[in-house]
Structures are given as structure tokens and as C-alpha cells.
Amino acid sequence: MTAFSIHRFAIRLLFALLISPAVALPCCAQDAAALPCFAQDTDASPSEKADRAEPKSPDVSQRETKFEQSMRNVTMVGYFTASDQPAGKLSEERYVIDKVVKDEGENWVFHARIQYGKHDVPVRLKIPVKWAGDTPVISVTKLAVPLLGTFNARVLIYDGQYAGTWEGAGHGGQLFGRIEKNKAADNNATDDKAADDSATDDGAADDIATDNAEKPSPAKKGDAPE
């Protein structure tokens, strides 16, 4: 065979390899039964595959129920920093939350009282809550809060604590704190005190009435002495 014939044969063979699906390279044009390659995992055991798999997010309804219960009748008590204040200065803040209610999409309605400095503002705010796995993250952008202004914030809530960042009115900073259950006993004590005060007032009124009944009426001018 001449060199020309060999060259022509090689060209034909290469052409046949390129157009024939029966001899295509493994893992490119064949199905999952082809030879092992990087896209397959035939050697791994089921337990190994489970270990490598990404952890599944908790059930959506379960995590939302947990969030709703954890934010019922609570107070977020903590501190915040502000970029227009001296470095390291912490200011107290309190967010009294009666309840949170799931709205449409990612939105939740917060029934709350925002307390900081001399401010104490009852509000009902529609706030987006996003999720990092099982962890809720309050995510607001240009949220208008009555009497206070417009704010941006990202606040993570986990295991009775919160932390995040805030920005508004040309300044911003960080915030952090804990989430405390409001004590129903405090309200009951207030009601009991009011009831006791009322009872005391009623008792005092009764004493005054009794004293008046026992006192002799003063003599009138002109009455003859006995």
C-alpha cells in the first residue's frame, strides 16, 4: 500500500468515527449505562450519596408555624448603633410585638409597638420575611414607618435572639438583642391593682357613709334645750 493510499484510508477512518453514533466517545452521546465518567456516581453507596447531598430545608408550613408562635406576645429588647453617633455608643431599643400574621407571598403583617428613646409608636407593618434554611430574615427596603421615617433593614432571627443592620434618614448601623416573652402576670397584676384600688375607694365611701349616719345632726338655732 502506497503512502497516498494509507493517507486516504486514515482520512476515511477519521470521517467514519466522526459521523457514526455507534462509536462515539463514552459519556458524550451515550446514555447512563455507558462507561463511568465524571457525570456519574455508580461507585458510591446510598449512604455516601446521602452524606454528600445538600441538607433539605424544613417543611415550609412547619417553619412558618414555628416563626408565628415564637413571635406572639414578645418584646425584642436590644441595642443599636448609629453612624452619626460616637463610635461604640449603644442606644436601647424595644419592639413590642403582639403577633405576626402570614400574608400573601413572602409578606407578614407585624402587629407591633416600636419603642426607642422617647418614641412609642403602635404600628401594623407588612414586612417581607425571607428564609436562610430554617432561619427567618426580616428584609425591608425603603419601608415607610409612620412618624419615624423610611428604613432599610436585614435582621436575622434565631433561637430567641436577633441581629442585623439598618439604614435610614442618611445614617445607619447595627442592631442586636434578645426576644423575650411578655409576662401575662404583669397585665393581671395591673388589673388586680386597679380592682384593689376600686375596692379601697368603695370601702372608704362606706366608712364615710357610716360615720355620717352615726353623728348627731347639729342643733338649729331656736331649738329649746331638753
pLDDT 10s digits, 71-120: 999 999 999 999 999 998 999 998 899 999 999 999 999 999 877 778 77
- Specify the 3-state DSSP secondary structure of 145: strand
Q: Is the dihedral of CA 189, 195, 198, 203 positive or negative?
A: negative
pLDDT by residue (tens digit) across 123-169? 899 999 999 999 999 999 999 987 778 999 999 999 999 999 999 98
When mean pLDDT is compared across 5-19, 47-61, 154-168, 204-218, the lowest value belongs to: 204-218
Q: CA-to-CA distance for 165 and 174, rounded, in angstroms?
A: 4
- Fold type of domain 60-181: Lipocalin (2.40.128)
- Global pTM reads 0.56
Listing DSSP states for 10-69 in one string gives HHHHHHHHHH-GGGPPTTTSS-TTSS--TT--TTS-HHHHHHHSPPPPPPHHHHHHHHHH
> Which residue is associated with the grid cell 420575611?
129
Find the mean pLDDT for residues 160-182. Answer: 96
8 Å CB contact between 175 and 163: yes
Indicate whether 22 pLDDT > 90. Answer: no
